Structure 1
Amino acid sequence: MVERALFGYRVLVVEDEFMLAEDLSQELADAGAIVIGPAQSLERAVELLATSDGLDAAVLDVNLHGEPVYPVADTLVERHIPFVFTTGYDRSVLPVRFKSIGCCAKPVDMTKLLEALQSAIEISRRA
């Protein structure tokens, strides 16, 4: 992982596991990102999404205390904001509409997650 590879990017973090949310936020900050959140509930994620201007990317836990994060993911797709899912489940649980979205299994390998996020951003910028 190249230091400061996400410099200046505003990245929304949606993760209900406190320690993982903290670790992920720190890794993103170390890579130069401006971290929005973390949101630990669907309600808070929707609120941050509605009030945060200029989001560049997001990392979304698929399951937030039993609620799927898909409403947030749908909004990100509509706004053409790249994102990556994290999940403790098999990626086959993702709805068909999200099959092309990057997905990292838990426990999360932070290097792979940051690489997946960078890749999603690069693909989005080319589109």
Structure 2
Amino acid sequence: MTKSALKGRRILVVEDEYMLADELRTQLSDAGAVVLGPVPSVEQAIALIRQLDKIDWAILDINLGGEFAYPVADLLMDRNTPFVFSTGYVDAALPPRFADIPRCEKPINVDAVAQALG
């Protein structure tokens, strides 16, 4: 799966580092995706998810300003929304319930996201 698979997809971006979020937004938009967000916090992500009827995929930073994004991941799982965790940590210790969730190392490569979610 390549960037062409992103065309028209509604992708939620949850990332607290402005430069990374902006770069990811630009890359996804250039690939034809509809970018939802980016949002920088657990609270804002949950609020946005609850407002939206449709999210095709999500990219979720594990650590949002020192707060783990697991409540956001749980909500996405409850809604059957595929997502990837993005992280700068090589060996992120995830709770067992997230063992099958794909991880993409930062900086995020849009092709890797498309492949992980495909």
Above 0.5 in TM-score? yes
Q: Which whole-Å CA distance do the structure 2 matches of 1:48 and 1:12 have between them?
A: 9
Partner of 2:77: 77
Partner of 2:26: 26
Partner of 1:96: 96
Change beyond 3 A, Cα 1:32–1:5: same
- Higher RCO structure, 1 or 2 (CA under 8 Å, sep 6+): 2
Partner of 1:58: 58
Q: Which whole-Å CA distance do the structure 2 matches of 1:80 and 1:112 have between them?
A: 21
Displacement after TM superposition at 1:3 (Å): 4.6
Aligned 8 A contact 1:3 1:30 in 2: no
Q: Which whole-Å CA distance do the structure 1 matches of 2:108 and 2:6 have between them?
A: 18
Displacement after TM superposition at 1:87 (Å): 0.8
Unaligned stretches of 5+ residues in structure 2: none
Change beyond 3 A, Cα 1:93–1:31: same
- Is 1:48 aligned to 2:54, yes or no? no
One-letter amino acid matched to 2:84: V
Count of residues in Structure 1 that have an aligned counterpart in Structure 2: 118
Which segment drifts farther, 102-111 or 13-22? 102-111
Aligned 8 A contact 1:11 1:55 in 2: yes
Task: Normalising by structure 2, report the TM-score.
Answer: 0.90
RMSD (CA atoms) = 1.6
Q: Which whole-Å CA distance do the structure 2 matches of 1:5 and 1:41 have between them?
A: 27
Partner of 1:37: 37
One-letter amino acid matched to 2:20: L
